[in-house]
Structure 1
Amino acid sequence: MTEKLKRRLTTVLCADVSGYTRLMEADEPGTLATLRRYRMAMASLIERHDGRIVNTWGDAVIAEFPSVVEAVQCAIEIQQELSTQDPHLPEARRMRFRIGINLGDVMVDGSDIYGDGVNIAARLQEMAEPGGILISGPVYDQVHNKLSVGFDYLGPQQVKNVAAPVASYRVALSGTTFGQPESKDGLEPAPKATALSGAPSFGVQAGSRTRVRVVSNWLADLPRALRAALVISVFLFLINLFSGLHRVWFHWPAVSMLLIATLWTMFRQVRKNKRRTGRD
């Protein structure tokens, strides 16, 4: 007889290093040593919150918790703990984890877990900001009135290999809540514009800082080849600008470099995706 498939409801936490390929290209031994050190810190916090590490492959960590509140609290402490590590390093070289958390039904095979409950947590992790935490709607329902942090409502997100859109919330570690208010009649109100943008609406300066931070994180996450091509392109533009725009020439070498860098980046990403698909 076929053994009956075991299932359970659990809270899944997925964490992954932002820009791991870039960090490995810059310093393989140092990045691996840092990853091991950070994983030890994460393992200690996960155990403290009654969770267990299910799997570690590549630069990822998958853990599960019997308590939704403990899972989110653990994620917050992980990001706070890791943010204080290696303060002497420039931001582009510091290791930052993205974390996604989901509450869902999973299939159990020995010590491993599978299914949409795990997949959704992994996809939320991919959408999180470096050093940030994204949680699903079921997680938010359990923790929004139990933790002293805020949540930015991002709306329903279409995630890979999951048919229905997933309601998602960004954990605002500053402790200020932005996003949808509680509705007295029990209906879900439409999200505010500030919640969708993920930035508080308290003036031009805050918006400017947010844009600078977003651009900085975006540049830091770019592969080294593409980042170098962009820098050289800007440099060529400035040379063309100061030498006079009566003859525009910078775009020819700039386009060539960007095209080569983009193709190289796509090639590297395809290889990385194939390796990850094999592990999935």
Structure 2
Amino acid sequence: MPRCGKRDDEGAHRTATCCHYGYGHRRLFAPDGGRRGANPRCNKATAASIFSPNIDARGGRIVKLMEEGALVAFNSAVDAVECAISLQEELARDQEELPSGERIVLRIGINLADVVIEGDDLLGDGVYVAARLEASAEPGGICIADAVHRQLGGKCRTAFLDGGEISLKNIARPVHVWHSGIRQ
């Protein structure tokens, strides 16, 4: 599988990191497949089958699939955002007939940053910022850092609303954020 990002002389990579998380976290991505109150439709295998086609189509790769979501890397911020939009739209469309308690609803955070690839993992503040942006997204929405928004330059089919600078848990500096109008 190709690596995402461009290596510099120190081993860091410039990459758009995208964190996808289920709304309700462990309630949706329960390791028991939902036998203890989690959504029975959503487990790691289901999540991978939902994420993979959209991610693969845009040259991304799933770095890590966790009980509560996935860390995904892209070479392009535009591709990361287009993937997130497609994923949210597809989930909403495919689940409109389901009762709300059975829907898989994601929050997505996207950041553009230098990260370190260690084995099969991505490390660094950029990954943590993406995870915190996910927590700032509305259910069914996307929250992107200003660095990502600047890369879009009118190449995106969804408008993003300026959320201003916000403080993120365990991140020293405020981060300027933008929110999608997509909601479920």
> What's the TM-score bracket when you normalise by the shorter of the two chains?
0.7 to 0.9
Counting matched residue pairs gives 170
Q: 2:74 aligns with which of 56, 60, 65?
A: 65
Is residue 151 from structure 1 mapped to residue 160 from structure 2 by the alignment?
yes
**In structure 1, C-alpha distance between the alignment counterparts of 2:25 and 2:68, rounded to whole Å:** 7
Selected match of 2:106 from 83, 87, 97: 97
TM-score by length of 2: 0.84
Shift of 1:171: 1.7
Given candidates 117, 128, 136, the residue that maps to 2:137 is 128
Q: Which moved more, 1:119-128 or 1:30-39?
A: 30-39
- What is residue 95 of structure 2 aligned with on the other side? 86
**Equivalent in the alignment of 1:8:** 13
Match of 1:18 in 2: 23
Which stretch shows the higher mean deviation, 80-89 or 28-37?
A: 28-37
Equivalent residue runs for 1:189-268 within 5 Å:
none
Give the structure 1 partner of residue 181 of structure 2: 172
SS at match of 1:129: coil
- Aligned 8 A contact 1:99 1:124 in 2: yes
Q: State the distance in 1 between where 2:27 and 2:15 align.
A: 33
Identify unmatched segments of 5+ residues in structure 2: 1-8
- Aligned residue among 41, 50, 54 for 2:59: 50
Structure that is richer in helix per residue: 1
CA distance in 2, matches of 1:38, 1:113: 20
> What's 2:34 paired with?
28
Partner SS state of residue 139, structure 1 = helix
Partner letter of residue 93 of structure 1?
E
Tell me the distance in 2 between the aligned counterparts of 1:6 and 1:52.
Answer: 19
Q: Tell me if the contact between 1:6 and 1:109 (Cα under 8 Å) persists in the aligned partners.
A: no
Q: Are the equivalent residues in 2 in contact too, given 1:5–1:107 (CA < 8 A)?
A: no
CA positional deviation for 1:94: 1.5
Offset of residue 110 of structure 1: 1.7
Secondary structure in structure 1 of the residue aligned to 2:39? helix
| Structure 2 letter corresponding to 1:31 | N
Q: Unaligned regions of 5+ residues in structure 1, if any?
A: 174-212, 218-280
How far the C-alpha of 1:160 sits from its partner, in A, is 1.5
Give yes or no for contact 1:38–1:82 (8 Å, CA) kept in 2: no
Asked if the contact 2:142/2:179 (under 8 Å) is kept, the reply is yes
Structure number with larger C-alpha Rg: 1
Instruction: Give the % identical residues.
Output: 35
TM-score (norm 1): 0.56
| 1:41-87 deviation per Cα after TM superposition (whole angstroms, max 9, x unaligned) | 21111011000000011121000000111110000000011112333
What's the offset of the Cα at 1:108?
Answer: 1.4
Contact conserved, 2:62 with 2:73, CA < 8 A, in 1?
A: yes
Shift of 1:172: 2.4
Kept after mapping to 1: 8 A contact 2:88/2:140: yes
Structure ranking higher in strand proportion: 2
Whose RCO is larger (CA < 8 A, sep 6+)? 2
Deviation at 1:93, TM superposition (A): 3.1
